[in-house]
Chain A
Amino acid sequence: MKLTRETLVVIITFALLAIVPVIASLTEVPFYLDLGRRMMILAIGALSLNLIMGYGGMISFGHAVFVGIGAYVVGICAEHEVVSGFIQWPLALLACSIFAVVFGAISLRTRGVYFIMITLALAQMMYFLGVSLDRYGGDDGLPLAETSDFSGLIDLSEKNNLYYLIFVLLLLCLWICKRLINSRFGMVLQGARSNEARMQAIGFPVFRYQLTAFVIAGVMAGLAGILLANHTEFVNPDMMHWTRSGDLIIMVLLGGMGSLAGPIVGALVFILLEEALSGVTEYWQLIFGPFLILVVLFARGGLLGFLETRQSSDKPSDKPAEGSDD
């Protein structure tokens, strides 16, 4: 493999993430561990969104709904004293895939702004469902009695274990994404992003490819949700709120849409920014909001795009055009 800057970024990022627990125990600041887990979980979410948004051109403004569904299945199982991860996790992923098939089939009938808005509306619908689920905490959310139990295989209540499990799963997701987008399936998906009518004319059932991608992304986001539930030991409707979906979009764009490592870098930078700014002022979004606008106006392609263009300024960028949704 050629050592591109992107690969370098990935290696450095994972190397840093790998030693976070060591740093946390040396400095005796367990908060770093917490921060690192949150980063990696959101990175999985952003990675999955990038699959459909960056490579598929499907701008979903409700992607956090799958994070929420994954988390809620774990929470609801635990509430009914089903704590085995061997049951919880497959069930959560199955639920996500079912919801993704239904939501995807409805949403994919539309294009452009309509697609953005219907994914937003469907996610909001689930958010309100969560709020009105009084049996499972409603608005207040549902504390997890215990983390998923893997009967001695791995103890997730031990925070370092959970950290490295998330670490490995993030790597796995990255690998899956890489394999996917370089496969025939990924090529068709990217072809449909660039010119859907042409792909259709060549004879590809574009809808089926897009729906499959939507479901894969939904399941991957569900995995992030499962991990999030185990991380916070708490589930609430806010995980599905449309601003959480907005956060995921920000991470993808911040890092660089349509590049493999972009969303991971984006998620890391997003959390770091959030932490740093909220340390400076209570009104940190007063800074973060305009910062986003500036990123949109002047830093197209995100952080990785910035690196790429500096590396290969002599050849035109083959980055996917943003907003190629219509």
Chain B
Amino acid sequence: MVDPHLLFEQLFNGVQYGILLFLLAAGLTLVFGIMDMMNLAHGSLYMLGAYIAATVALATDSFLLGIAVALPSTLVVGIFLEVVILRKLYDRGHLDQVLATFGMILFFNELVRLIWGPAGIEVPLPSILNQSLTLFSIPLPLYRILVIGVGLAVAGFLYVLVVKTKLGMLIRAGASNREMVGALGIDIKKIFTLVFGLGAALAALAGAMAGPIFAATIGMGENILIQVLVVIVIGGIGSIRGAFVGALMIGVIEIMGRSFLGDFFKLFLSGNAAETAAPAAASMLIYILMAGVLFFRPQGLFPARSG
């Protein structure tokens, strides 16, 4: 029998991981949705945010200052990339976009290796955050609760931004018909630069917050990027709501799968077979889910372009 305490704890970790995925997926899904742009370098911005935050935090001994520096500097890098390179690729096919942003990944990974060396950076937590809250006699790390809180705040902010403001209206309009918005005299390019910058800042926020949990490493961006792509595809490209639901789904499934799939398999497999099959199946779970969703709903769960 599965320990209910462990179950709750892992569910909590899954939600926390899902929130991290959401911070990345939110920016990326808007970029995909509005400009129909395939951007693989989003994970590089996440990595950059993590490294900058870690460096500043270690140098100044202030975790908050690290985040405060990482956000604007990654935002600047993001806007630079958009204005200098990506803007020229909107009218190109997805293939060109894939290749150019793939080139960016290679560049950024190597740049980070050159500046920070091949080893990752462990980011220590400030002692205030390095404690646990006990809920129903289950200890929950305060830091992870904070990450969830920040994520929910960002989700709320994005909801208000996209649904309640004029800018949000233009973003939604751009997602459903870019040419028409342009024809009505709106400078859609400026909006996209803004959205891209916002996405870069959110990626940096995710990276900075991921630092103390996973440590900042080269290639951290690509591993999470693929999962973020799965989130976006499941949620429906261009949909913030889809990104939120998809991210929580993937986060929980990913974490719970790793912890409990072995136990689950033991119900109908021999102990040995379950032990060997579980890790393989756990790492494949989210992709199988994605294939399943796409098979029945090729546009994702919350298609943004449907009408």
Residues of A within 8 A of B (CB): 53, 59, 61, 106, 109-110, 112-114, 116-118, 120-122, 124-125, 128-129, 131-135, 242-243, 246, 249-250, 253, 257, 283-286, 288-293, 295-297, 300, 321-326
Q: Residue B96 at the A interface, CB < 8 A?
A: yes
By the criterion CB–CB under 8 Å, are B283 and A250 in contact?
A: no
A120 to B102, CA, bound (A): 13
By the criterion CB–CB under 8 Å, are A120 and B226 in contact?
A: yes
Q: Residue B182 at the A interface, CB < 8 A?
A: no
Q: Residue B161 at the A interface, CB < 8 A?
A: no
- 14 of the cross-chain contacts (CB-CB < 8 Å) are A59-B95, A59-B98, A117-B229, A118-B233, A125-B283, A125-B287, A128-B283, A134-B276, A285-B109, A286-B110, A290-B107, A293-B104, A321-B93, A322-B92
Main secondary structure of the interface of A (DSSP, over half): helix
Closest Cβ of chain A: how far from B227's Cβ, in Å? Answer: 9
User: A114 — which chain B residues lie within 8 A by C-beta?
Assistant: 233, 237, 294, 298-299
Assess A113 versus B32: contact at CB under 8 Å? Given A106-B295, A124-B226, A125-B288.
Answer: yes
By the criterion CB–CB under 8 Å, are A249 and B95 in contact?
A: yes
User: A291 — which chain B residues lie within 8 A by C-beta?
Assistant: 103
User: B168 — which chain A residues lie within 8 A by C-beta?
Assistant: none
User: B295 — which chain A residues lie within 8 A by C-beta?
Assistant: 106, 109
Q: Residue B230 at the A interface, CB < 8 A?
A: yes
Assess A283 versus B110: contact at CB under 8 Å? Given A128-B284, A129-B283, A250-B102.
Answer: yes
A59, A132, A284, A322 pick with most chain B CB within 10 angstroms: A132
Q: Residue B191 at the A interface, CB < 8 A?
A: no
Which residues 97-156 of B have a CB within 8 angstroms of A?
97-100, 102-111, 113-114
Closest Cβ of chain A: how far from B96's Cβ, in Å? Answer: 5
A122 to B104, CA, bound (A): 23
By the criterion CB–CB under 8 Å, are B94 and A323 in contact?
A: yes
- The 8 Å CB contact of A253, one of B95, B110, B232, is B95
B99, B279, B288 pick with most chain A CB within 10 angstroms: B99
- The 8 Å CB contact of A292, one of B106, B114, B291, is B106
Assess A113 versus B93: contact at CB under 8 Å? Given A125-B288, A285-B106, A289-B105.
Answer: no
By the criterion CB–CB under 8 Å, are A293 and B85 in contact?
A: yes
Residues of B within 8 A of A (CB): 32, 36, 38, 85, 88-89, 92-100, 102-111, 113-114, 222, 226, 229-230, 232-233, 237, 276, 279-280, 283-284, 287-288, 290-291, 294-295, 298-299
Closest to B290 in A: A121
By the criterion CB–CB under 8 Å, are B107 and A325 in contact?
A: no
Closest to B104 in A: A289
User: A289 — which chain B residues lie within 8 A by C-beta?
Assistant: 103-108, 110
- The 8 Å CB contact of B94, one of A116, A122, A250, A290, is A116
B95, B102, B110, B279 pick with most chain A CB within 10 angstroms: B95
By the criterion CB–CB under 8 Å, are B114 and A124 in contact?
A: no
Assess A109 versus B94: contact at CB under 8 Å? Given A129-B284, A246-B102, A286-B114.
Answer: no
User: B85 — which chain A residues lie within 8 A by C-beta?
Assistant: 293, 297
User: B93 — which chain A residues lie within 8 A by C-beta?
Assistant: 321-325
User: B36 — which chain A residues lie within 8 A by C-beta?
Assistant: 113
Closest Cβ of chain A: how far from B217's Cβ, in Å? Answer: 16
Assess A297 versus B226: contact at CB under 8 Å? Given A106-B294, A131-B283.
Answer: no
By the criterion CB–CB under 8 Å, are A325 and B95 in contact?
A: yes
Closest Cβ of chain B: how far from A168's Cβ, in Å? Answer: 31
User: B88 — which chain A residues lie within 8 A by C-beta?
Assistant: 297
User: B280 — which chain A residues lie within 8 A by C-beta?
Assistant: 128-129, 132-133
By the criterion CB–CB under 8 Å, are B100 and A292 in contact?
A: yes
A199 to B230, CA, bound (A): 31
By the criterion CB–CB under 8 Å, are A322 and B106 in contact?
A: no
A22 to B182, CA, bound (A): 62
Assess A59 versus B94: contact at CB under 8 Å? Given A117-B233, A133-B280, A292-B99.
Answer: yes
A324 to B95, CA, bound (A): 9
Given contacts A325-B93, A326-B94, 6 further A-B contacts (CB under 8 A): A53-B95, A114-B294, A250-B99, A289-B103, A323-B93, A323-B97
- The 8 Å CB contact of B291, one of A53, A122, A322, is A122
User: B237 — which chain A residues lie within 8 A by C-beta?
Assistant: 113-114
Closest to B285 in A: A125
Closest to B91 in A: A323
A253 to B96, CA, bound (A): 9
A129 to B285, CA, bound (A): 11
User: A129 — which chain B residues lie within 8 A by C-beta?
Assistant: 280, 283-284
Closest to B114 in A: A283
By the criterion CB–CB under 8 Å, are A125 and B284 in contact?
A: yes
A128, A249, A322 pick with most chain B CB within 10 angstroms: A128
Closest Cβ of chain A: how far from B122's Cβ, in Å? Answer: 22
User: B279 — which chain A residues lie within 8 A by C-beta?
Assistant: 132
Closest to A54 in B: B95
